[in-house]
Amino acid sequence: MIHTWYYVIYVLIHKQTTSVVLGNTVQEYLVPANRHALYAAVKPKRLQALLEKLARYGATQRDAAGRDLGERRRKEADAVGRLFPGENR
């Protein structure tokens, strides 16, 4: 039963991290009051890694819209990385 709860918590944390990206609310996440109140479970390193992966994928796209989205994700990853500069990989 304990393992089930750990899994549920694990899924909820990852779901919240992906919802920041999919909901286009990264700019909201960058505001300290919002980050602590709404996105307490989101770890900046995880969010930054996800944004970097999406940026790399966007850079490989042939259409301009896909590349623009990739560039936007790269800028968002940089902004999230600047939140806690000592914690970068």
Model confidence pLDDT, tens digit, residues 10-52 = 566 678 888 899 899 999 999 999 999 999 889 999 999 999 9
pTM of structure:
0.80
Q: Which residue has the higher pLDDT, 24 or 3?
A: 24
Which helix (H) or strand (E) segment holds residue 49: the answer is helix 44-59
Q: Which residue has the higher pLDDT, 10 or 65?
A: 65
Is the per-residue pLDDT at 65 higher than 90?
yes
Q: Which pLDDT does position 11 carry in this prediction?
A: 63
Q: What is the pLDDT averaged over residues 52-59?
A: 94
Which tokens is 36 given?
A: 């602590």
